[in-house]
Structure 1
Amino acid sequence: MQVHSEEKPHSCEVCGYACSKKSNLVKHMRTHTGEKPYSCEVCGHSCSKKSNLVLHMRTHTGEKPYSCEVCGYSCSDKSNVVRHMRTHTGEKPHACELCTYSCAQKSCLVKHMRTHTGEKPYSCEVCEYSCSQKSSLTQHMRNHTGGMLYSCEVLGYSCSQKPSLTQHMGTGTGEKPYSCEVCGYSCSQKSSLTHHMRIHTGEKPHACKVCGYSCSQKSHLVKHMRTHTGEKPHFCEVCGYSFSEKSHLVNHMRTHTGEKPHSCELCGFSFSRKSSLVRHMSTHTGKKPHTCEVCEYSCSVKSHLVEHMKLHTGETN
């Protein structure tokens, strides 16, 4: 009857929170006491709610009971599949009240709102730099660490990206138990072998429902979908410019920082982009891979060939 009457007789003495069930108040009180009575028997992780422990255990069992009926994507948390479905429906339920921006995930809206408020909750412990996104702080910290943020305590391996460390820690000893029967490629994770095998089979299980584009990896499809939705979730903290891919933001940030991590080993000249270094190397090697099909002209830079072709087509700027 409390559901119909909206009666909430159980109140928190700390913050005034009220609810209709005593069990809900018991759970709420753990936010104040920090109590975590539910523990994982595998790794010792503890949590305040039994439901959270159920989700955690799936990280050990690999269980993914929730599936997408459109593409077969599966996950351990029902809320994740709800968010995933928006990649198919194009639904963007979270809208900014100050501009026309809208997005599929609430976390994206939270980040976007900082472009209006100017809030920068992430601060560098070394210098006075602060930013609105955690990823930007991670990128900034590489200026202090020389690019290596994550280290393996077993072998001393270090890297700039957490996924790279996770890949490395797959065995902790450098062991690569998963091998390709076609070419002998080996890796530490089964998922990496699954992705690799698609090179041989040509399998492209991830398909775009809009234009029919297909690819071998889900991450490629996620990026492709942004060509239809126009979504640009990666924001520049300095000038507000946005990008559909994180790598493009990384390159853009160097226009502000002046960072040039790609250096020529022959003359010491450095560049902000790897592609620029590749073009530069042709000045040492004399290699001219771009050849005109009409005459014998060849060049080291593709854009030069495009300009040259205008001589044959009669095209003018």
Structure 2
Amino acid sequence: MRGISHTVKKPYSYSCFECGENFFHKGEFLKHYRSHTGEKLYSCPECGKRFTEKATFSRHQRLHMGEKLYSCSECGKRFTQKSLLVRHQRTHTGEKPYVCSECGKCFTQKRLLVRHQITHTGEKPYSCPECGKCFTQKSSLNEHQIRHTGTKQFICNECDKCYVRKSELVDHQRSHTGEKPYSCLECGKCFSRETYLNKHRKTHTTVKIN
């Protein structure tokens, strides 16, 4: 097979011709080598999406089945992927591991940090073809374009109220479920929205001057 260097001294050792990385098992090598070739052996029968690794393919299938193996020990909420659980748990702990090197601001998710860093450069690569307004993120452009059409595509299945943004729908749905995933580390009080929690936190830090 092209790409394999088979040594005599170590018959179970495989070396990648592309990058030089070594492997003791053929399976590990083949898995690695597909990262160079882009070969995707695993195809989802539901949506046709393809994957290079079986583990990633299995995680994807759980999205279709709705299987939620990972549960939060704080509130009991369940998730299809461990990474989603870890991200959710930060709403309880307040952990923000991603730090901006420019201003020191911290974030719970890497994508939020990347989005924030654009504010320092001022770059706005996404422009609206209707009005020419520019945006730092494609998602912001997409939301903006919906405002031109007036479409409210996110509908509450409880009361049929409609929203332009999915985040607005999620916030609204908590008024039906009573879910309050954002908790204060100082006093334990819980809130349905992060903005409410941030506003509440200021009551702990405010200094009263007589």
Q: TM-score, normalised by structure 1?
A: 0.45
**Structure 1 residue 206 corresponds to structure 2 residue 180:** yes
Deviates more, 1:87-96 or 1:123-132: 123-132
Q: Report sequence identity in percent.
A: 39
Q: State the alpha-carbon separation in 2 of the partners of residues 25 and 34 from structure 1.
A: 14
Correspondent of 2:198 among 226, 242, 247: 226
Aligned match of 1:38: 42
The one-character-per-residue Cα deviations of 1:142-190 (angstroms, maximum 9, x if unpaired) are 46xx325xxxxxxxxxx344x34xx7xxxxxxxxxx9x9xxxx79xxxx
Alpha carbons of 1:39 and 1:54: their partners in 2 closer, same or farther (altered >3 Å)? same
**Structure 1 residue 18 corresponds to structure 2 residue 21:** yes
Q: Secondary structure at the match of 1:206?
A: coil
Q: Which amino acid aligns with 1:147?
A: T
Q: State the alpha-carbon separation in 2 of the partners of residues 213 and 128 from structure 1.
A: 44
Asked which structure has the greater CA Rg, the reply is 1
In structure 2, the gaps of 5 or more residues are 1-12, 161-168, 203-210
Task: Work out the number of aligned pairs and report it.
Answer: 178
Preserved contact between residue 124 and residue 134 of structure 2 (Cα < 8 Å) = yes
Aligned match of 1:258: none
In structure 1, the gaps of 5 or more residues are 1-7, 149-158, 168-177, 187-191, 231-317
Alpha carbons of 1:12 and 1:226: their partners in 2 closer, same or farther (altered >3 Å)? farther
Cα RMSD (Å) of the superposition? 3.8
Greater RCO (Cα-Cα under 8 Å, separation 6 or more): 2
Deviation at 1:85, TM superposition (A): 1.1
Alpha carbons of 1:30 and 1:141: their partners in 2 closer, same or farther (altered >3 Å)? farther
Aligned match of 1:83: 87
Q: Which amino acid aligns with 1:204?
A: G
Alpha carbons of 1:228 and 1:54: their partners in 2 closer, same or farther (altered >3 Å)? farther
Alpha carbons of 1:102 and 1:20: their partners in 2 closer, same or farther (altered >3 Å)? farther
Preserved contact between residue 208 and residue 214 of structure 1 (Cα < 8 Å) = yes
Q: Secondary structure at the match of 2:68?
A: coil
Q: State the alpha-carbon separation in 2 of the partners of residues 73 and 136 from structure 1.
A: 28
